[in-house]
Amino acid sequence: MDTLNLYNKVSKLPAGKDIFSVAVCGIAPYFRSIKPKIQDLRPGYCSVEIKNRRSVQNHLKTVHAIAMCNMAELAGGMMTDASIPEGSRWIPAGMTVKYVKKAKTNLTAVADGSQLNWQTEGDLVVPVIVTDTSGEVVFTADITMNIKH
């Protein structure tokens, strides 16, 4: 069963999004460090939330830059996985980030690949925007995904 089908099935259950998010972290354990919750996943779109808690903070008590990189990579990777043609594979090849403002609240990362041509093989740049609870952009990422069909 592929990732998108599993998400669609499990997310309908009580606490299904929590269960799915924990399962993803079991497959890719590094993401456990931010305790993400995958809120929405569909072809061309993924949103991931994290809470601003002590374990993701820097010395300024704001969300650490690498925690935001981590959530951006998760959102971009999940969206890529849900968007590429069946039988294709992908791997991140690079990421360019911008820290726009201090992240003082819980955060949401949105990977929107609705304008990308998923039939393309090779490098494809996936945009991710991270916002705070007031909807202000705190971080952006352009993640280069290498796709093989």
Q: Domains plus CATH for the chain?
A: 39-148 (3.10.129.10)
Chain-centroid distance of CA 45 in Å reads: 9
Query: What's the CA gap between 103 and 131, in Å, rounded?
Result: 8
User: Contact 71/131 with Cβ under 8 angstroms?
Assistant: no
What confidence tens digit (pLDDT) does each residue in 40-91 have? 999 999 999 999 999 999 999 999 999 999 999 999 999 999 999 999 999 9
Predicted TM-score (pTM) of the model is 0.96
Report the percentage of the chain scoring pLDDT > 90: 99
Rounded mean pLDDT of 14-35?
96
Query: What's the CA gap between 64 and 75, in Å, rounded?
Result: 17
pLDDT of residue 50: 98
Token pair recorded at residue 89 = 């594979």
Mean pLDDT score of the chain: 97
Rounded mean pLDDT of 97-101?
97
pLDDT of residue 19: 96
Instruction: Identify the three-state secondary structure at position 30.
Output: helix
Token pair recorded at residue 146 = 């290498």
pLDDT of residue 1: 55
Rounded mean pLDDT of 17-37?
96
Angle formed by the axes of helices 65-83 and 3-10, to 10°? 100
Tell me phi and psi for residue 84, to 5 degrees. -75, 155
CB atoms under 10 Å from CB of 23, counted, come to 14
User: Contact 40/69 with Cβ under 8 angstroms?
Assistant: no
Q: Which are the contacts of 43, defined by CB distance < 8 A and separation ≥ 6?
A: 4, 82, 83, 118
CA contacts within 13 A on the Cβ side of 104: 5
